[in-house]
């Protein structure tokens, strides 16, 4: 487990230790030598660290011949491409390795994203609001970015015009622009991880909302990914692929 002492890391360690078919063989954190992982005999590593280090961790795991399940945010098209290329060029010890990166392992979040992508083509307006605990270091959330990109792709495929918006000044109040979809981030003590996707037409509105009230909500998805990644060579992005929701 990479990031073992973190909020997600501790929860994953407990879930793995409670799973009869899995064994926790190494806990790795900031300042530790990577030999803790490389020499552990691990088949699969789970990374919940920080955006600044997660890509380097994945490259080190590929070099060590260890499959990777990644929940850490901060991934870009470029960093994902580098992982795909590394997997393709990997030596004999790393042949057939799988890397599964998911912006969200919660079933409610994965379903919300899937439903939003399906709904996107039918509405003139679409915006995303993500709401999180105030200790989160990045904004907007990886989940909200993934959601907005999927909405944008569906809108583009359907030939929709940009969401109407007459705003002339004060654009900073309109949230981040993710591929033309506005994303708003709330940070509030008491929250864990929540997302609302709003769609509007003249005279009607659809709101899709999901709430992770506890980090245990991510664990079935993380454990499913740990079991599945060994059967999926190459890079997989999004748990929706494992759940057959695409
Ligand atoms: N995909 C999903 O379903 C979910 C994704 N996340 C994402 O997971 C990530 C972690 O979230 P969370 O657990 O809340 O964050 P935390 O800050 O609680 O945990 C991060 C952990 O990573 C450790 N760390 C920092 N640098 C390194 C390093 N170089 N090598 C190894 N470990 C390091 C930190 O140690 P230290 O504190 O000593 O620096 C800390 O223990 C975030 O990007 C978050 O957005 C979160 C929840 C669900
Ligand atoms: O930092 C968090 O807590 C979470 N991060 C992920 C994200 O940025 O989407 C997943 C979930 O929202 C919790």
Along the 246 residues of the chain, how does pLDDT read in single tens digits?
999 999 999 999 999 999 999 999 999 999 999 999 999 999 999 999 999 999 999 999 999 999 999 999 999 999 999 999 999 997 887 789 999 999 999 999 999 999 999 999 999 999 999 999 999 999 999 999 999 999 999 999 999 999 999 999 989 999 999 999 999 999 999 999 999 999 999 999 999 999 999 999 999 999 999 999 999 999 999 999 999 888
Asked if 83 and 59 count as a contact pair (C-beta separation under 8 A), the reply is yes
| Ligand 1 probe mutation, 29, 139, 214, 215, most atoms within 8 A of CB | 29
Provide the residue ranges of all domains of the chain, joining segments of one domain with +.
7-101+216-242, 107-213
Burial status of residue 163 (CB atoms within 10 A of its CB: 0-12, 13-18, 19 or more): middle
- Protein residue with least CA distance to atom 4, ligand 2: 193
- What is the ipTM score, two decimals? 0.99
Ligand 1 atom at shortest distance from the alpha carbon of 50: 43
Report the topology of domain 7-101+216-242: Rossmann fold (3.40.50)
Q: Which of 148, 218, 69 is nearest to 140 (CA)?
A: 148
Taking phi first (over 0 means left), then psi (-120 to 50 degrees means alpha), and beta for anything else, what does residue 94 get? Answer: alpha
Distances (CA, A) of 36 to 8, 25, 33, 83, 197: 19, 9, 6, 22, 41
**Nearest atom of ligand 2 to the alpha carbon of 194:** 12
**Fold observed for domain 107-213:** Dihydrodipicolinate Reductase; domain 2 (3.30.360)
Residue from 211, 197, 193 nearest 129 by CA: 197
- The torsion angles phi and psi of 41, rounded to 5 degrees, stand at 80, 10
Q: How far is the CA of 161 from the centre of ligand 1 (A)?
A: 38
Give, to the nearest 10 degrees, the angle between helix 219-229 and helix 7-18. 70
């Amino acid at each position: 487990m990479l990031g073992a002492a973190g909020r997600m890391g501790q929860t994953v360690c407990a879930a793995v230790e409670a799973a009869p078919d899995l064994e926790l063989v190494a806990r790795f954190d900031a300042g530790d030598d990577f030999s803790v992982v490389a020499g552990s005999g691990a088949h699969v590593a789970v990374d919940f660290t920080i955006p600044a280090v997660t890509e380097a961790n994945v490259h080190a795991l590929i070099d060590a011949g260890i499959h990777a399940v990644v929940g850490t945010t901060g991934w870009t098209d470029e960093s994902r491409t580098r992982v795909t290329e590394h997997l393709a060029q990997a030596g004999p010890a790393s042949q057939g390795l799988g890397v599964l990166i998911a912006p969200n392992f919660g079933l409610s979040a994965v379903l919300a994203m899937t439903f939003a992508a399906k709904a996107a083509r039918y509405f003139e307006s679409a915006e995303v609001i993500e709401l999180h605990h105030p200790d989160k270091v990045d904004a907007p959330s990886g989940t909200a970015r993934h959601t907005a990109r999927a909405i944008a792709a569906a809108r583009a495929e359907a030939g929709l015009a940009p969401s109407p918006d007459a705003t002339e000044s004060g654009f900073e109040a309109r949230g981040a622009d993710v591929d033309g979809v506005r994303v708003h981030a709330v940070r509030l003590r008491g929250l864990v991880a929540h997302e609302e996707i709003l769609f509007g037409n003249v005279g009607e509105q659809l709101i899709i909302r999901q709430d992770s009230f506890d980090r245990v909500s991510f664990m079935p998805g993380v454990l499913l990914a740990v079991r599945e990644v060994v059967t999926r060579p190459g890079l997989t992005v999004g748990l929706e692929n494992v759940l057959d929701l695409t």
